[in-house]
Chains A and B, each alone.
Chain A
Amino acid sequence: MAANLKNAAAIVGAAESDDIGYPEERGGKVSSLMHHIQAIKNVSNYTGIPISDIQGIFSAGWSSQLAEHLGLKPRYIDTTSVGGCSFQMHVHHAMAAIHAGIIDIALVSHGQAGWSYRGAGGPRGNMAPGEIDPSVEMTMPYGVFGAPSQYAHAMVRHMHRFGTTPEDFAHIAVVTRKWATLNPRALMFSKDTNPFGGPITVQDVMDARLIAWPLTLFHCCIVTDHGGAVIVARPEIARSLRTNPVWIAGAGESMGHSNMLEMEDFTATSAARSSATAYTMAGLGPEDMEMAMIYDSFTITAAITAEMLGLAPRGKGYTLWKDGHAAPGGRLPINTNGGGLSFNHSGMYGMQLLVEAYRQLSGTAEDGINGIAGKQTGATTCVVNGTGGTLSTTGTLVLTAEA
């Protein structure tokens, strides 16, 4: 029987890089490494934990490079890189390493110049030149380009099975945009921050340019720069710091497939399993969650995930937004930073989820950096779920303000 890791560690601080969003338009490109280092410096300053005290380093593929850049000799190195949920998994792994007594303080870092270096591409996977994965071999002829072209298939299947409509899912974009108008750091905060910014309607979502039917542009996340970092520490350390700890009551991870070709049920993800593990560890259930941070790469991602997390019945995930529960002032605030749909999405969005969850539960969501009146909720519990790949991998955390 596995040990129960509940509250074996806490997130003791979270920070972002200075130049998120579209930094290119404010003076120059920012590299992914610069986003990492800005965020790491900021979280060190915020927590008062010197960078030299970091013993474990967790990132989506950057760990040895980052440790070297920082002059660290870490004794725990994790580079799990399975898409945007990698950071939820890093927190899970860091908690396990702390629980095992290997380290006391872990850094989870993210830097991704999704906008500054858009379209740059780069090597993917672990194949040598000339090798090809057979799943790629058998899908690359068929004209799918990037995430929207894939995720659209999930929305169509959901519509077929549950009788949902594109308008139902459009409410998710509309409500998430409301949250973005409370976050001055959000790309879509206002017409001043982006020509498409400010409040939107269901009709706006439906009338937007088609990307992959039934997905219009506003069903899709934005593409921006981001850097973020959190520090995870042992309880005794967490209690000794000047910052408010946010406790990791539960953590879980799972996957359904890597290539969408292998997705058994296009209306379900492995978040059902990763959240079951996390809820069990925490001794809490979906009914105990007072807010949620859900990866919204697309409106359909958020809808399906809400169902998987048990926050809504099967087929009814969208009602949390349509009925206003997820909105500012609602009973279950969701994606209070404005989401990947309207705040920021650098390609792998899991860190943005973590930073906002930390800020909400530590009471710093209106700290003058990242929010204006109305963004801070009263939530003391939050379920955080990242989704990676094409509805493939998931990591779930159950976070609480009190141990």
Chain B
Amino acid sequence: MAYNKPIPPKSQHTAPFWSGAKAGKLMLPRCTNCNRVHWYPRLICPFCHAVELEWIEASGRGRIHTYAVQHRAFGGWAEEVPYVTAFIDLDEGDRMMTVLRGVDPSKPEEIRIGTRVQVEFEAADEETHIPFFRVVEEA
């Protein structure tokens, strides 16, 4: 079935992220001056304000920071309610938004903040492979 959920337009400076995603890699921006990873991708380091940034391949691992269960949605997402949105603390630093996989939306109390997750990608179109996170066993 064709992907029927929102597909983001691309900023000029995020091409390395999307080309990485297409290859199954989670690419994150890192400042070459202060070495800190940030998310979402900036034109300037939000920590030290250097403009010399690079892209690194991340482990794709993180932990649930917080979550919610969506019962009201529109478009393609409406067909999937209820589903669990979450913010993920990445092992490399900073935080990504996602929709969680491998959890039961009907039992929200059983989802635990701090739980291990691993990135996986879904092809939305030729140029857009969207990262989602799946709950995995503690390594």
Contacts and interface: CB of A to CB of B under 8 A. Distances in A.
> Real complex partners, A and B?
yes
Interface of A: 130-145, 148-149, 152-157, 160, 209-215, 259-262, 266
Contacts of A214: 68, 108
A141 B14 contact: no
Interface in B54-104: 65-74, 77, 80, 82-83, 85-87, 95-99
A143 B85 contact: yes
A134 B69 contact: no
B130 A134 contact: no
A144 B14 contact: no
A136 B77 contact: no
Nearest to B46: A262
Contact of B40 (A134, A148, A149): A134
A210 B71 contact: yes
Interface residues of B, number: 39
Interface of B: 5-11, 13-14, 39-42, 65-74, 77, 80, 82-83, 85-87, 95-99, 108, 113, 124, 130
B71 A212 contact: yes
A213 B41 CA distance: 29
Contacts of A130: 9
Given A134-B13, A215-B68, 7 more contacts: A138-B39, A142-B98, A143-B99, A213-B108, A214-B108, A261-B40, A266-B87
Contact of B68 (A137, A140, A213): A213
B11 A149 contact: no
Contacts of A262: 40
Contacts of A135: 40
Given A156-B66, A160-B66, A145 B72 contact: yes
A154 B65 CA distance: 10
